[in-house]
Amino acid sequence: MNRAAPAKINLSLRVLGRRTDGFHELETLMAPLALADEVSVEAADAFSFACSDPSLPADDSNLAVRAARLFCLRGRREASLALRLEKRVPHGAGLGGGSSDAAATLLLLNDFFQAGRTRAQLAEMAAELGSDVPFFIWESPAWCRGRGEIVEPTTLATDAEILLLKPPFAVPTPSAYAAWRDARELPGVPYGPQASPWGPLVNDLERPVFEKHLLLPAMKRWLLAQPECEAALMSGSGSTMWALLRVAADGAALAARARGEFGDQLWTCATRLSGRV
Ligand code: C5P
């Protein structure tokens, strides 16, 4: 039995303030993408976990493993299963890969064991695993509030093409939030809301992350100057920048030009938003 674990982008991410528990109060519009990892499960004598990406931990620090253990613990079930994760979404990228793997594992095990938990119950479990995990339980674009765990599904026009560009470094999420309050805007870099079919596109984490990783604002400015690109924004806490392509624009040509400009180490992926499943 298997299940897709889609990546996400943030169409809008506003940080409203720092909370006393160390988290930040958010208001963010997130949308799942067609780009996805895949989680699969089979019955086995004992628990095992295998991942196609050897650079990821295969022990209990992997969020998919933690999700499987939590699901079995809550249902008082033996974790007698072989879990496998096929990675396609880069990590440390602001694309929610690890969170989505965890949510897909909960959804998959709910089916596998025919456990009959509702999405609301799974979302509650998901919130114990990370702020972004409940979003992926709903399998829909959504407004997320609180530290991210209060999810309000919404519908969006999904016929737009998106180009993802990730340089060969990761941004640790805690460092982006920690630098948010004192961060300044770099001169000449556009941070303001950009018009789009989904409302204004803006990301308050660009300020702290751009200050530290100067390639990212350079990529944003470069993207905005390309004829194929209607808007460009960082996703989550980075390091992925995403471009909203104009209707009938050649995404492959833009991706090739971006690799020419920023180096062959740049990971690119042409994808689309994915609507309610
Ligand atoms: O919830 P999650 O484990 O994904 O969060 C990772 C880290 O990101 C937190 O420990 C915190 O430093 C930061 N964070 C935050 N505010 C949020 C979400 C995450 O400060 N709303």
Indicate whether this model's pTM tops 0.85.
yes
Ligand 1 binding pocket includes 134 (Cβ within 6 Å): no
pLDDT given at position 277: 45
Q: Residue 8 catalytic?
A: yes
pLDDT digits (tens, 9 = 90+) for 68-79: 999 999 999 999
Nearest-CA residue for ligand 1 atom 8 is 174
Ligand 1 binding pocket includes 89 (Cβ within 6 Å): no
On the question of pLDDT at 2 being above 70, the answer is yes
Q: What structural domains does the chain harbor?
A: 2-153 (3.30.230.10), 161-272 (3.30.70.890)
pLDDT category of residue 276 using cuts at 50, 70 and 90:
low
Q: Which of 87, 132, 166, 220 is catalytic?
A: 132
Ligand 1 binding pocket includes 25 (Cβ within 6 Å): no
Task: Tell me how far the alpha carbon of residue 227 lies from the centroid of ligand 1, in angstroms.
Answer: 36
Concatenating the DSSP letter of every residue in the chain gives -EEEEEEEEEEEEEEEEE-TTS-EEEEEEEEEEEEEEEEEEEE-SS-EEEES-TTS--STTSHHHHHHHHHHHHTT----EEEEEE--SPSSSSS-HHHHHHHHHHHHHHHHTT----HHHHHHHHHTT-TTHHHHHS-S-EEEEETTTEEEE-------EEEEEE-S----HHHHHHTTTT--PPTT---S-B--TTS-BEETTHHHHHHH-THHHHHHHHHHTSTTEEEEEE-TTSS-EEEEEPTT--HHHHHHHHHHHH-TT-EEEEEEB----
pLDDT given at position 123: 98
Q: Residue 250 catalytic?
A: no
Task: Tell me how far the alpha carbon of residue 178 lies from the centroid of ligand 1, in angstroms.
Answer: 9
Task: Tell me how far the alpha carbon of residue 13 lies from the centroid of ligand 1, in angstroms.
Answer: 14
Mean pLDDT of the 187-214 span: 97
Ligand 1 binding pocket includes 208 (Cβ within 6 Å): no
Task: Compute the Cα dihedral for 255, 160, 241, 64 and give only its sign.
Answer: negative
Task: Tell me how far the alpha carbon of residue 130 lies from the centroid of ligand 1, in angstroms.
Answer: 8
Length of the chain: 277
User: What whole-number distance in Å separates Cα of residue 163 and Cα of residue 245?
Assistant: 7
- Residue 133 CA: nearest ligand 1 atom is 4
Nearest-CA residue for ligand 1 atom 10 is 174
- Evaluate whether 96 touches 136 at the Cβ level (below 8 Å): yes
pLDDT given at position 158: 80
- Residue 147 CA: nearest ligand 1 atom is 21
pLDDT given at position 157: 87
